[in-house]
Amino acid sequence: MTTATAAVSTAPAAPLRRPTRAGTAHNKRVLTPASARYPQSRLLHIVAPSLKVADAAAASVFSAARTRGPVARDAIAQHTQLSIATVNRQVTALLEAGILRERADLAVSGAIGRPRVPVEVNHEPFLTLGIHIGARTTSIVATDLFGRTLDVVETPTPSGTQAAALATLASSARRYLSRWHRRRPLWVGVASGGVVDSTTGYLDHPRLGWRDAPVGPVLAEALGLPVSLASHVDAMAGAELLLGGRRRGADTDADAGQARTSLYVYARETVGYALSIDGRVHSPASGPGTIAGLPAQSELLGGTGQLESTVSDEAVLTAARKLRIVPAEGPASTLPAVLRAARAGNAQAAGLLADRARVLGEAVALLRDMLNPDDLIVGGQAFTEYPEGMAAVESAFARRSVLAARDIRVTAFGNRVQEAGAGIVSLGGLYADPIGAMRRAQTRRSAAV
């Protein structure tokens, strides 16, 4: 895996007009004449993300091959509880779609009748593209069919007018894909803060000044691929649900979703939470809830008495500048410099980070006591970039929570959680309906040509 920095500028594209709302039920929309040319264009295909443990036959067979392969058909049948006839049909369809391949070299010798030829995921010819739009940094991620990051490019989140920023984002993604000559891109997944309308691909992001931003339509038109958008915290919770099991050594990825409820709490420059219920990330039609305004107090960190303004990276850095832990400006005035100072024995820097850990632990306790999930996970660089602070998080959590003791699990993806979130948005449709997803990707590819 390589990491690079890229910045691409391009002329602003003509703005896309958002489809109008057709009532409030299920957040469905109809098209106005002014916006008709984009949704009716064959170059436009927005697909709601699938952040769930799928149980359809093809999805179950593909999951077994992905998590256990190379694996024989009878072993798939035993694992999935499907009949051998159903498994054979699905394996044949997945082989024809090109995302499974047979391993004749691993066939059991001396078997009577049809050889037991194992199958595995045919991952080398394909990739998906994930884009995480952060308040300051945007990551463009190439992911294989196992959910592994092949490569990531980090760029400053585009600034300027909304139209110019989206044009820059699309141009950067297009140039990035042009590097991959031996792999066919199948899907684009976007994870972002703000309020995402997953049915239309539009985004409201107050931190960036975006309103009704047609992120999905712009990317679909520029890249000629299906596009899915999700709230970034929902996406990270989806990565834990669908990919975290293998990172933690579980028998299958689906084992990560066996608990009835799972609470995921995120903190970095922004804060958020997501709840998974019965193997599915709960995504309200009206958009995710917010914990940014939860009450929080810290004399060291300042803030407005609300959680996000107290524990954000910017809040820590501002406090460090006031205490002269780092210069007021210049290349040394960064959060990594504060972390280095704390590790080098600077008591003030360590105190700032410990107080952020305390506030975070108390906030996690409040959410846990309200929702009482079976599983509790924290992620984001506020937790993972300074693991020395987790003891303070856990201590504050234990003091504040009024329920029985509960372990806090740190994300399986460490500082790469944003990449994992964007990656799973790009893979969710394939995991839920692999045959349909391959057909859809082929249709989009043919339309683009």
| pLDDT, one tens digit for every residue, the chain (449 residues) | 444 444 333 444 445 555 544 333 333 343 333 344 444 444 458 999 999 999 999 999 999 999 998 999 999 999 999 999 999 999 999 999 999 999 988 887 765 545 578 999 999 999 999 999 998 899 999 999 999 999 999 999 999 999 999 999 999 999 999 999 999 999 999 999 999 999 999 999 998 999 999 999 999 999 999 999 999 999 999 999 999 876 555 555 545 445 589 999 999 999 999 999 999 999 887 778 899 999 999 999 988 899 999 999 999 999 999 999 999 999 999 999 999 999 999 999 999 999 999 999 999 999 999 999 999 999 999 999 999 999 999 999 999 999 999 999 999 999 999 999 999 999 999 999 999 999 988 765 555 54
Exposure string over 230-264, b if 16+ CB within 10 A, otherwise e: bbbbbbbbbbbbbbbbbbeebebbbbbbebeebbb
Which residues lie closer than 8 Å to 358 by C-beta, 6 or more apart? Answer: 298, 392, 393, 395, 396
The Cα 130–Cα 416 span in angstroms is 13
Q: How many CA atoms lie within 13 A of 448 on its CB side?
A: 18
Task: Delimit the CATH 1.10.10.10 region(s) of the chain.
Answer: 57-121
Cβ–Cβ contacts within 10 Å for residue 343, how many? Answer: 13
Task: Note the CATH architecture for domain 57-121.
Answer: Orthogonal Bundle (1.10)
Dmax (CA) of the chain:
77
The confidence score (pLDDT) of residue 25 equals 34
Is this prediction's pTM over 0.85? yes
Q: Tens digits of per-residue pLDDT, 90-149?
A: 999 999 999 999 998 888 776 554 557 899 999 999 999 999 999 889 999 999 999 999
Which residues contact residue 237 at a Cβ distance below 8 angstroms, ignoring those fewer than 6 apart? 51, 262, 264, 274, 275, 276, 281, 377
Element of type H or E holding 244: helix 244-248
Residue in 422, 443, 447, 361 with CA at minimum distance from that of residue 49? 422
The predicted pLDDT at position 112 comes to 55
pLDDT for the residue 59: 97
What is the per-residue pLDDT across 97-113, written as a single tens digit (0 to 9) for each?
A: 999 999 988 887 765 54
pLDDT at 10: 40
Looking at the chain, which residues constitute the CATH 3.30.420.40 domain(s)? 45-51+124-239+418-447, 257-412
How much is the pLDDT for 286? Answer: 76
Residue 244: the pLDDT is 86
Q: Which SS3 state, helix, strand or coil, does residue 8 take?
A: coil
In three-state secondary structure terms, 206 is helix
Residue 251 identity (one-letter amino acid): D
CATH architecture of the region 45-51+124-239+418-447: 2-Layer Sandwich (3.30)
DSSP assignment of 283-334 equals --TT-----TTSB---TTT--SSBHHHHHSHHHHHHHHHHTTSS-SSSTT-S
Distance between CA 125 and CA 147 in Å, rounded?
A: 14
Cα–Cα dist 186/343, whole Å: 43
Which residues lie closer than 8 Å to 37 by C-beta, 6 or more apart? Answer: none
Query: How remote is the C-alpha of 111 from its chain's centroid?
Result: 44
User: In terms of CATH architecture, what is 257-412?
Assistant: 2-Layer Sandwich (3.30)
* Interacting residues of 64 by C-beta distance below 8 A, sequence separation 6+: 71, 75, 76, 79, 80, 252
pLDDT of residue 374: 95
Check: CB of residue 79 under 8 Å from CB of residue 57. Answer: no
